[in-house]
C-alpha cells in the first residue's frame, strides 16, 4: 500500500497564477454587470431614500426662487401694490425643506399723494407633496421681522404667517411657481396696530 500523502492537494491540477487571476476577474465583471443591470439606478442624493413617488425634477439640494405680484384698486381711495420676493431653500428630505426669504412691498396711495414701503425678512419651513415627477404643492409656517415706512412714520415688528405654493418644473432646473402667502405683522398700537397681508406671488424657481 502506498504511503499516505499528508498533502493530497499537492498532486492536484492547479492553474498558473496569471490564468487564475484572469478567470477571477472575468467572474467579478460578470457579477458586477448582473447587479448593475437588475438594480434601479439612483437618481437622487443618498439621503433621499424615502421617496413615495418618483424623484421630482430639480427638487433636491438648494432652490432659489424669485416671484412678484401687482394689484390695483380704483375708486375714492385708489391704490397700487407692487410686491417682490426672493427665497432660498434647502431640502432636508424628499418632502421637507427650510429656507429664508426677503419680501418687499410698495404701495402707491394716490389719494394722499404718498407711498408706503414695507419689507419682511425671515425664515420658513415647507412640507411638500409630489403629484408626479414635475408637479408639487407645499405649505408651511414662516416667521421674521417686518419693517414699515412712509413719509410720516417708521416702525419694526415681529411677523409670522403661512406660505404655500404650487411648483411645476419646466426643465430640469427651472420651474414655474404660484405662491399664496399670508403674513401678520404685530405692530404696536401707536404704530397703527397689527396688520395682515395676503399676497399671491407668481414667479420662477431655479435648482442650484
| 171, HSE (Cβ side, Cα atoms, 13 Å) | 7
Encode pLDDT of 138-169 as tens digits. Answer: 999 999 999 998 878 889 999 999 999 999 99
Is the separation of the CB atoms in 194 and 186 below 8 Å?
A: yes
Share of residues in the chain with pLDDT > 90 (%): 48
Query: What is the overall mean pLDDT for the chain?
Result: 77
Q: Which of 12-16, 116-120, 174-178, 197-201 is the least confident region? A: 12-16
**Angstrom distance (rounded) from CA 179 to CA 74:** 25
Encode pLDDT of 106-143 as tens digits. Answer: 988 665 556 788 999 999 999 999 988 899 999 999 99
Residue pointed to by grid coordinates 421674521:
144
Print the SS3 string covering 75-91: CCCCEEEEEEEEEEEEE
Is a pLDDT exceeding 70 seen at residue 40? no
Is a pLDDT exceeding 50 seen at residue 12? no
Amino acid at each position: 500500500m502506498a504511503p499516505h500523502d499528508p498533502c493530497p492537494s499537492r498532486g492536484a491540477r492547479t492553474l498558473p497564477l496569471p490564468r487564475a487571476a484572469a478567470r477571477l476577474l472575468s467572474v467579478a465583471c460578470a457579477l458586477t454587470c448582473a447587479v448593475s443591470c437588475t438594480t434601479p439606478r439612483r437618481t437622487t442624493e443618498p439621503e433621499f431614500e424615502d421617496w413615495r413617488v418618483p424623484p421630482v425634477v430639480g427638487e433636491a439640494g438648494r432652490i432659489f426662487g424669485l416671484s412678484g405680484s401687482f394689484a390695483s384698486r380704483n375708486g375714492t381711495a385708489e391704490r397700487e401694490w407692487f410686491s417682490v420676493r426672493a427665497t432660498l431653500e434647502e431640502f432636508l428630505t424628499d418632502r421637507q425643506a427650510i429656507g429664508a426669504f426677503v419680501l418687499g412691498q410698495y404701495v402707491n396711495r394716490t389719494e394722499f399723494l404718498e407711498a408706503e414701503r414695507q419689507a419682511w425678512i425671515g425664515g420658513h419651513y415647507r412640507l411638500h407633496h409630489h403629484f408626479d415627477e414635475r408637479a408639487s404643492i407645499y405649505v408651511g409656517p414662516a416667521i421674521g421681522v417686518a419693517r414699515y415706512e412712509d413719509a410720516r412714520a417708521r416702525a419694526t415688528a415681529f411677523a409670522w404667517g403661512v406660505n404655500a405654493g404650487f411648483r411645476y418644473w419646466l426643465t430640469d432646473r427651472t420651474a414655474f411657481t404660484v405662491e399664496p402667502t399670508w403674513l401678520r405683522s404685530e405692530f404696536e398700537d401707536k404704530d397703527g396696530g397689527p396688520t395682515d397681508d395676503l399676497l399671491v406671488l407668481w414667479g420662477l424657481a431655479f435648482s442650484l
